[in-house]
Structure 1
Amino acid sequence: MRRIATATLAAGIVITAFSLTATPADAAAGFWRTVGLSGVDAFGIYNDEATKVTLNFDLKDTKKDGYSAALRFTFTGTKKQKDDVRVVALQGDRVQDKWQTVTSTRLKHLYVQECRGTWKKGKFTIKKCAGWRQHY
């Protein structure tokens, strides 16, 4: 288990280092990782440009327990902009791993929340979530 965690952390550091050197001078980039909801493991890189933020992330469901792993993202903007909330959930109940991309024009802050839920008739219902964490 420690080898997997070490390999994941090393890959994240390499990807972050590459993204920091490959971004334009006016862009900011950073790395984030989930921290604690059992069954959900995710990490990613955000790239904050002048007009949008792009978030590339890997979402893993680490348990086969009847629930699917999900992440909720909130991108905040100015007072005139409505907050942009997105939910990304893995399909079904199986241990799986998938890279995803989310973009938004709301540039002020990024908050991420880890969740678990169920699928029924093509609709995802959240059952349990960890707290919101601000990443920039």
Structure 2
Amino acid sequence: MSYYQRLKNYTITKIMVAMLSMVGNSPDVVLIKFTYLAERLAKKDYYIKIIRWIRELFQSGHPSLIVAKKILRETHPAHRQQLVKSFFINQLLLGTNKRKEFQDKNGFYPPGFIVISPSMLCNLKCFG
């Protein structure tokens, strides 16, 4: 990964963590506007459609908006930062772009994978 790309990823991560940290106590409109930014960062059409669908749910007052705001508001700042980095940034935004590059290079689209473990140890015996 080039120095420029690492700097870009670092900047996106810091900005997104700061923005999502503020969203928890903000009006619903702020979280809805945040989906427009996420849409611009994602490259794959599939994810853009999902982001638009999530925005429509938020605009219609779906309970998922309450859950998202509660998670962003009530989690410990360190946990919130790691959650934002792992799920929103690495999995949904930057991860989609990396998986798209992998698909272009290798001919298939690798799946996303998130491990949530209270012990911080993975019991999967993966090779590589």
Higher relative contact order (CA 8 A, sep 6+): 2
- TM > 0.5: no
Q: Shorter-chain TM-score category?
A: 0.3 to 0.5
Q: TM-score, normalised by structure 2?
A: 0.36
Higher strand share: 1
